[in-house]
Amino acid sequence: MIKLGQKIKELRKAKNISQETLANFLGVSFQSVSKWETDTTLPDVALIPAIASFFGVSTDELFDFNLYDIEQKVMEICHKSWACRDKEPEKAEAILREGLKKYPGNDIILNNLLCVIPYPERANEVIDLCKALIDGTKYDDVKYDACRIMALAYHSIGEYSLCKEAIDRIPEIYFTKLEVAADLLEGEEQFEAAVRQHSLSFESGISMCMKMGKYYAEQGDTEKARIQYTMAKNIYLSAKDDFPTKYSKNLFEAFADMLPEIENALAAFPSVPSPS
């Protein structure tokens, strides 16, 4: 396998640029680039996506990996982390970081890593990683998911204006890939898309009603607040006979933790009887 420094040197010469030009783009000294190219030191992991982007290659190409094989192995690492991500995030992080030792700077592993680093406790680490992915990844889904997570991290530390800036980098799209697939594909592919979109829509429907209810409550319109929270509860209760599929969990069980907040809100906004 070719060494990283040698690969950077080959790509730089093929692009006919100096070490200074590459260094200026990355915000490092030309001495740093020189040390990379002689394999004296390695670039910081956060710089890998930006280096790959500068040369117009994937991070896997940068490390001279077989792209198909690496994709399969990366997904194995990610699936292993998903199995413990909710209940044991520290274990999931360890799995992903071990994966990064084998495949440094891999966009997919880094994107999954963002989902297990806690914020606000480590918000700055999350934000730095998001910035690296946004600037360096070739994958739109990774880029915009990094924008979303960066917005969450900024929000967690009270940086409202920076949170809004991150949100503004996400394009507004009024349909999802899953919706299109459910409409146009057939058989198992259509079913899988429909199930996954149904789960997302179910959670979103409840959540948006709760946010509208919160807004009306803050405005002092308790009746509209009550109506929205009641709608949220009804959406949740509509899943009482739901069942799991191979693509989704039982929705009634999966989102049960949303019900206490709804009930608490409704307790503060009792229904007002109509005058007789």
Mean pLDDT in consecutive groups of 10 residues from the start of the chain, 276 residues: 78 90 90 90 84 82 68 90 92 94 87 95 95 87 95 97 96 92 95 96 97 96 95 97 94 95 90 51
- Half-sphere exposure (Cβ direction) of 198: Cα atoms closer than 13 Å: 21
The domains of the chain, with CATH numbers, are 4-43 (1.10.260.40), 67-168 (1.25.40.10), 180-268 (no CATH)
Tokens representing 64? 């001279």
How does pLDDT run across 212-239, given as a tens digit for each residue?
A: 999 999 999 999 999 999 999 999 999 9
Asked if 123 and 153 count as a contact pair (C-beta separation under 8 A), the reply is yes
C-alpha–C-alpha distance, residues 229 and 266, integer Å = 6
At residue 138, the pLDDT reads 79
At residue 64, the pLDDT reads 67
At residue 115, the pLDDT reads 93
At residue 92, the 3 state secondary structure works out as: helix
| Assessment of whether the complete model's pTM goes beyond 0.95 | no
Residue type, 128: D
Bond prior to 270 in cis (omega within 30° of 0)? no
User: Which residues are bridge partners to 248 per DSSP?
Assistant: 245
At residue 275, the pLDDT reads 46
* Nearest alpha carbon to residue 168 among 143, 140, 148, 139: 148
At residue 32, the pLDDT reads 92
DSSP state, 275?
Answer: P
